[in-house]
Amino acid sequence: MSTAKIDDTLREKIISEPDVILDDQDVMQALIAANERAMGGNIVDLRGIAMERLEHRLDRLEDTHRSVIAAAYENLAGTNQIHRAILRMLDPTEFEPFLKDLNGPVADILRVDCVKLVLESANADGEPALERLGSVLQVAEPGFVARYVSNGRSAPHRQIVLRQIQEGAFAVYGDKAPYLRSEACLQLDFGPGRLPGMLVMGAEDPHQFSPQQGTDLLAFFAGVFERSMRRWLS
């Protein structure tokens, strides 16, 4: 029989505040292990087994809780990022600065390497605006947007498409095309009687955009951009 004694001060502390022991997982595990050793190897402590399983379940719940909190913070950060980009996009009072900012301050806020606006047109050759806005604006033949978004395959219409790529399309991104590894394609509707358009965001990071990501925030961004363009085009 053990004659070891607990220090009187420690003993009084435990008696007065037993929750200190109960709330300390490491101490409780040490006490349970000592109890199992005292019972001997021929006795199965079902209560100890149940407690161990509950501890594992609690650990999993805590991991899930941390993951949910991390996802919530990430979503909040993404929302703030989109809001700041929209406010910056709405600052210009003239059309050309409005477009040029897309591949400048707006792209910086969104942390993407390239933003391009693709407009379909039946005949846009010789337009002087194309030369001035070539850094952000590309003009394509009718039907280009649908083919580009679907990669030429038959697929259900989706306003927002996120995907990883081997490299960007030169016809869209120009000289930056070889360095891009993922992109977001935002299809745009400018209203009745007008050909569609597309806003594309290219990133060198292959994980910046992927099909598993949510598209709600980008859909909101595209909706604001559509409405802004309709006013400029009217």
Residue ranges covered by each domain of the chain = 92-233
Q: Are 197 and 120 contacting, i.e. CB atoms less than 8 angstroms apart?
A: yes
pLDDT tens, position by position, for the chain (234 residues)? 445 567 777 777 777 777 777 677 777 777 766 666 666 655 556 666 666 777 777 778 877 877 777 666 677 778 899 999 999 999 998 988 999 999 999 999 999 999 999 999 887 555 555 657 778 898 899 999 999 998 877 666 788 999 999 999 999 999 999 999 999 999 999 988 899 999 999 999 999 999 988 899 999 999 999 999 988 887
104/97 Cα distance (integer angstroms): 10
Please give the CATH number for the structural domain made up of 92-233: 3.30.450.40
Whole-Å CA distances, 82 to 75, 109, 126, 129, 204: 11, 8, 35, 28, 19
Query: Nearest-CA neighbor of 140 among 118, 159, 112?
Result: 118
